[in-house]
Amino acid sequence: MTGKTITIIGGGLAGCEAAWQAAGRGCEVRLLEMKPRAFSPAHHSEGLAELVCSNSLRAADPHSAVGLLKEEMRRLGSLLMAAADATAVPAGRALAVDRDLFSNWVTARIASHPAITVVRQESITIPTPDEAQGGPIILATGPLTSAPLASALAAFTGGEHLAFYDAIAPIVAADSLDYDIVYSASRWEDGPGDYLNCPMDREQYLAFIAAVEGAAKVALKEFEEPRYFEGCLPVEVMVARGPETLRFGPMKPVGLRDPKNGREAYAVVQLRKENLEATQYNMVGFQTKLTYGEQQRIFRLIPGMARAEFTRLGSIHRNTFVNGPKVLLPTLQCRTRPDLLIAGQLSGVEGYVESTAMGLLAGINGARLVRGELPVTPPPDTAMGALVSHLTLETKNFQPSNVNFGLFPPFTHKIPKKLRGGKRAEVALASLAHWLREKHLEIPELPDHPAAAGTLPA
Ligand SMILES: Cc1cc2nc3c(=O)[nH]c(=O)nc-3n(C[C@H](O)[C@H](O)[C@H](O)COP(=O)(O)OP(=O)(O)OC[C@H]3O[C@@H](n4cnc5c(N)ncnc54)[C@H](O)[C@@H]3O)c2cc1C
């Protein structure tokens, strides 16, 4: 790589973090942001790093997956974590911020950084290497990437590897299921199959349908007009088409004989392995816009799921993201164009903190490319590394994910449930420290980071 300047497109959470990390490692950064010339349907302010919805960065406890991710980012000199700590508002066990102060805090530090030039301009194409003056490009335009750039990205990845909607079904922890009720079977196959099946009799099925019909749904945003793919309809939309629709769709019982009685049930909810270790299962065809509270209440009516713990709940919204396993290397470089890195929600993670974390990694690697160093990948037993594993491990049906302990490598020995979060944090932070030393990764200086930031010993 010959160029010294890194071009970053998108001045949101990931773009600002990437800019800070790269500039802090001695690189010149051009940060292109389309606001205020153009706004996505969810962005309203002129500031950088705008939080478009909730003001919460979720759990603060470093023994939770998202708390651990935040702690790792602090240790990597994250600008946005410093902003969050400096502008926090009381929110119980969550880290929540004053969104305007947060955005202003970040904007002021990015705008005044001598190595960062902010250009208020919409990018409508992916810059060629010449246009980027031979330097790396980081694409961080988020889930609502503007239409011309999204088309250019679809042309680059191949249309089938860029999604515009995110229709996700809930994921449930395997150890929260009742195995006296659920049984293994694949349709029409003899013997134990790859799926877990939750059988329902007629009465249970009708009660379930009535519960879905009466449930509270999340109101659609203006720009989330319900144009669903026929093969990916939300459960509540299927139920609205008639009480039998689910029984002839995702809850079809045929070919799924229950070994306990040798019979087919009236209806079946199928659960598909979400990871190789089979610690998590995806509810097949249960993408939904029911509120989170209603999903937990109603899906626990499903036989075998009365005590289900959900590691992710279902949702459907507009979301532009690449098919990570096909498009990305574990360094966030594109497989077919290593000078192009993809960060933030566009890379296939979900959530403010996760998007920022992928900006942080892209910023480190953009700087390493400029300096002629090999790009790096965090170890898989860290929260950052677990997210990268999710983005790049081959899978049939890639879907974005929040950080959660299900993405981490399994423990090699049994650990009581209550102690697992603490053990994860201990292993991850030690692994991160070792990685920093091994790769000689320096940490960009944070001039006015509040002392309160670190919550665990180094
Ligand atoms: C409506 C909505 C609500 C969400 N609510 C939450 C929530 O409550 N909690 C949560 O954790 N996550 C939420 N998310 C998911 C996600 O965490 C956020 O979208 C997050 O802001 C993603 O960070 P990012 O940096 O990838 O993108 P963004 O923060 O969206 O930043 C992208 C930036 O790129 C700019 N841009 C876009 N196209 C171009 C272009 N062509 N040229 C130049 N600039 C461009 C945009 O103006 C924007 O400033 C939500 C997403 C959406 C769409």
At 458 the pLDDT is 38
Q: Residues 259, 148: contact at Cβ < 8 Å?
A: no
Does residue 428 belong to any structural domain of this protein? yes
- For residue 361, the enclosing domain spans 5-165+318-453
DSSP-assigned letters across all residues of 31-74: EEE-TTTS--TT--SSSSS---S-SEEEE--TTSHHHHHHHHHH
pLDDT of 455 strictly over 60? no
**CATH assignment at residue 303:** 2.40.30
State how many domains the chain has. Answer: 2
| Entry pTM | 0.80
CA count, 13 A, side-chain hemisphere, 423: 14
**CATH assignment at residue 118:** 3.50.50.60
Q: Per-residue confidence at 452, pLDDT binned at 50, 70, 90? A: very low
Does residue 269 belong to any structural domain of this protein? yes
Is residue 402 in contact with ligand 1, taking CB distance under 6 Å? no
Single residue among 283, 313, 343 that ends a domain in this structure? 313
pLDDT of 245 strictly over 60? yes
Does residue 181 belong to any structural domain of this protein? yes
At 417 the pLDDT is 87
Residues 141 and 180 in one domain: no
Bond into 378 cis (ω within 30): no
The share of the chain scoring above pLDDT 70, in percent, equals 93
Residues 295 and 385 in one domain: no
At 277 the pLDDT is 79
Residues 108 and 184 in one domain: no
Pocket test for ligand 1, best of 9, 46, 53 (most atoms within 8 A of CB): 53
Single residue among 265, 297, 313 that ends a domain in this structure? 313
CA-nearest residue, atom 10 of ligand 1: 351
Fill in the amino acid letter for 90: P
Is residue 54 in contact with ligand 1, taking CB distance under 6 Å? yes
Does residue 458 belong to any structural domain of this protein? no
Q: What is the mean pLDDT of residues 252-265?
A: 93
Q: How far is CA 74 from CA 77, 79, 84, 99, 302, in A?
A: 5, 8, 10, 19, 41
DSSP-derived secondary structure letter, 380: T
- How far away, in angstroms, is 344 Cα from ligand 1 center? 8
Is residue 373 in contact with ligand 1, taking CB distance under 6 Å? no
Determine the 3-state secondary structure of 279 from DSSP. Answer: coil
Q: What is the mean pLDDT of residues 316-340?
A: 94
150 CA: nearest ligand 1 atom: 41
Q: Max Cα separation, the chain?
A: 72
Q: What is the mean pLDDT of residues 37-66?
A: 93
Residues 445 and 330 in one domain: yes
Mean pLDDT of the chain: 91
Is residue 351 in contact with ligand 1, taking CB distance under 6 Å? yes
- How far away, in angstroms, is 188 Cα from ligand 1 center? 44
Residues 13 and 139 in one domain: yes
Q: Per-residue confidence at 454, pLDDT binned at 50, 70, 90? A: very low
Residues 114 and 213 in one domain: no
Does residue 39 belong to any structural domain of this protein? yes
Does residue 141 belong to any structural domain of this protein? yes
Does residue 276 belong to any structural domain of this protein? yes
Pocket test for ligand 1, best of 355, 360, 401 (most atoms within 8 A of CB): 355
Single residue among 313, 336, 351 that ends a domain in this structure? 313
The share of the chain scoring above pLDDT 90, in percent, equals 77
Alpha carbon distance 200, 249 (integer Å): 15
Residues 306 and 192 in one domain: yes
Residues 296 and 324 in one domain: no
Residues 351 and 442 in one domain: yes
Does residue 400 belong to any structural domain of this protein? yes
Residues 279 and 360 in one domain: no
Is residue 363 in contact with ligand 1, taking CB distance under 6 Å? no
At 451 the pLDDT is 39
Residues 148 and 207 in one domain: no
Higher-pLDDT residue of 454 and 166 is 166
Q: Which tens digits make up the pLDDT trace of 362-415?
A: 999 999 999 999 999 999 999 999 999 999 998 877 888 999 999 999 999 999
Residues 227 and 287 in one domain: yes
